[in-house]
Every structure is written in structure tokens, then in C-alpha cells.
Amino acid sequence: MKNVVVVGSQWGDEGKGKIVDWLSEQADVVIRFQGGHNAGHTLVIDGVTYKLRLLPSGIVRKNKISVIGNGVVIDPWALLEEIKEIRSKGIHVDIENLIISESANLILPFHREMDEIREDAAGKGKIGTTRRGIGPAYEDKVGRRSIRVMDLRSEKNLDQRLTSVLLHHNAIRKGLGKKIFEKNQLKKELLKIAPEILKFSQPVWLKIDEFKKKKKKILFEGAQGILLDVDHGTYPFVTSSNTVASSAATGTGCGTNTISYVLGITKAYTTRVGEGPFPTELKDNIGDILGIRGKEFGTVTSRKRRCGWFDGVLVRQSIKISGIDGIALTKLDVLDELDEVKMCIQYELDGKKIDYLPAAVEDQLKIKPVYKTFPGWKKPTNGIKNLDELPKNAKDYIYAVEDFIGTKISSISTSPERDDTILIENPFEI
């Protein structure tokens, strides 16, 4: 039975929501394996728009099991609010179709406050976080002082865990001249919502083993993009988790042999939210056109995205790092009105040509893109579902992208509507 991992091959916002929704219709189980409620997927189904942050995309479909893995950091109040919101749109959510890992770490109010304190203090050196406490929560996880879902079962244990984590946070807060965080009120609030969270709690690794034995099709849903990976991205302007495909194994407790196919979602151009290097960024009229036509605003934050030409060097690097088997090319129609389209095929650094993104941020900020230019097609591709119906220049651009990145393009998205897709290869059927 095929199990598919979906990851973003750029800096996130590649249009994963539509592709994951299409794949989730074929899957039996949909699992989130990293990130938090800083990453959003927008789904449009039968004219209804769903903006998901923590809940896996399978939640909006009947007879699917949605799972939040141990690699995800969970703001329990944000999760309960999201469940309430999705239920208000007629979606059924209960213990039969939602499972939360008992080992998942919690985002607490002092994490959000620490995120804000640091960003405000950083000035020009800010990372551009979503200020939702994701980074500080992952820090506590690595520091072995975090509160996990299972800790909500016992008041005595929760009290001890809160004492430990606040010893760390209050020392920092005091040093920064901030008010110390009181434990008792937070403990009271956590105990109040504990039953609502714990009823979904299970050992996810064990459930996945059961799913495999029953030959269930599993879809692993990644958040953000590979260029935001804490190890392989544009560090320090990255997220706080590993966004590569292999994280699907560590973030859920399944072996890597569970993964059959890795699908990389890739925009036909490039965008980035927040600070950090962006070699192909366009700060001109073309960049504005891409932003307007592509509706480039964050699902969760509504922040305007920076826009630029397709960076073939970066996507090729992401493919190698994450073991991507096929690419789902999205938002091709956004390029329809341009006279010419460019693809970055190389960088120039200190007068030398290089074919990869260097690891040092000072080099990443200095590199200049070397482009290959293609004539625009100046014809609408919106809604096309057959490869042969695309304008010749659009097909030439697609084939050039495929040839350069060295990986097959398995589908092409020509509008936000889920059916407006040119399917070349179905990951679940290979």
C-alpha cells in the first residue's frame, strides 16, 4: 500500500492545501508531523473555504482519520478554537476521526510572550516569526522541560512540570525586566481544558502500526517548506522544526520504510514570508503583479508575501535534500500575462559561479541570480486540465523546469479549484 509524504520545496505557501485535499480524498489517514498553528492550509470544497492551522486537511472529508503527530507543537486553546470553528461549518470532529499524539508538546502563553519579546528586542535582526510561540515551545522540547499532552492527566505531575519550565522562563523574563509568569492560574486553565484535549490522545506510533497492518493509505502532511528547515534552510531565518520528508517518520513514530513516495509542492515562481535571504526577489512591477494575481497573503497571518522568479537552483537542492520523487507545480496561471518568464539556473558569489545555495547567511544575502529567460505565453491557462491544451510557450517553460531540477513534474495546477489540475502521475498509484 502506498503512503505519501507531501512537503513544500520552497519557503512554504506553495499551494499545499489544494494538493493535500486532492490526495486526502484517496487516503484513509492524514497525518500532520511537524510545525504548529503558524502554518496554514486553505481548502476550497464545494464553494466553502476552510482555513486550517493545526488540524490535518483530511478533517474536512468524511470517513477519514486525521492525526496530529508527536512532532507537532500544539497550542491547546488554538486547537479547541479551530475545532469549534470547523464544526460551525458542518464538519464532524470527534474521537473517531481525530487523534492527537500523547507525546506532542504544548505551546503555552509564556511561549507566545517570549516570541514577542524576542522579536521586538531584535529590531533589524528579527527573524520574522508569526509570534505564536512555536520557536520557544520547540526550545523547551529540546531542553527537556516541556509540557506534553500526557502531562495533563495528573494535577501533581502538571504542577511539577510547570515549576520546572517556569524556573527557566522566569529567569529569562526577570533578566529582560519582564514580569514573572505565575504558575497557579495557568495550571487551573490547563486542567479546565485537559479533558477536551485528552479524549483525543493516543499513542500515535501504535495507531500507525495498526493502520499499516490494515493496509490503510496514509498521507503525511508537511507544513512550511524545506528552505525553512532548521538544519537545511536559510538559517537563522527558518522555522524551529525539520520540514524535510524524513521528519514524517520521526514526527509520527513510524519507520522510514513506511514512506513510499515524496511529493514536493512547488510554485511556478517563488515567494517568501518574513525576513531572510531571497536571491530571486523582485522589488518591481513584476513582483507586484505576481503578488496581486497570486493573491500572495498568508493564510494564518495575512502578511504580504515577497515574490520573485522561479529559483531552479533552490528547488533542485530541496529535491536532493528531501528525496523528492515528483513535483506538483502550482500557480502556473499566475504567469499568464507576462511578456517573459525567468528561471534562476545559477548564482554568482564574489565573481564566481556556483550551482547551490551556500550555507552561510552572509553568502546567501550576497549571491546574485543568473537567469535563463523564456518568452511568455500571453494566453490563459486557468482551468486547463489537459497538458496538450497548454500554450506551447507554457509547455516549453514546464519542460525546461523539469529538465533543470532533474525530477518529474507529476501534476500542474492551473487554478485554486481542486479539479483544475493536469494530472500526469498519481503518487498513490505508482
Catalytic residues: 13, 41
Closest CA relative to residue 39, chosen from 90, 86, 94, 82:
82
Q: What is the 3-state secondary structure (H, E, C) of the chain?
A: CCCEEEEECCCCCCCHHHHHHHHHCCCCEEEECCECCCCCEEEEECCEEEEECCCCHHHHCCCCEEEECCCEEECHHHHHHHHHHHHCCCCCCCCCCEEEECCCEECCHHHHHHHHHHHHHHHHHCCCCCCCCHHHHHHHHHCCCCCEHHHHHCHHHHHHHHHHHHHHHHHHHHHCCCCCCCHHHHHHHHHHHHHHHHCCEECHHHHHHHHHHCCCCEEEECCCCHHHCCCCCCCCCCCCCCCCCCHHHHCCCCCHHHCCEEEEEEECCEEECCCCCCCCECCCHHHHHHHHHCCCECCCCCCECEEECEEHHHHHHHHHHHCCCEEEEECHHHHCCCCEEEEEEEEEECCEEECCCCCCHHHHHHCEEEEEEEECCCCCCCCCCCHHHCCHHHHHHHHHHHHHHCCEEEEEECCCCCCCEEECCCHHHC
Looking only at the bridges linking them, the beta strands covering 29-32 and 408-413 are unpaired
C-beta of residue 312 within 8 angstroms of C-beta of residue 318: no
Angle (CA) 243 194 74, round 5°: 15
Residue type, 270: T
HSE-CB of 278 using CA atoms within 13 angstroms = 22
β-strand partners of 105: 73, 148
Query: What are the angstrom distances between the C-alpha of 103 and each of 68, 95, 132, 217?
Result: 10, 17, 20, 23
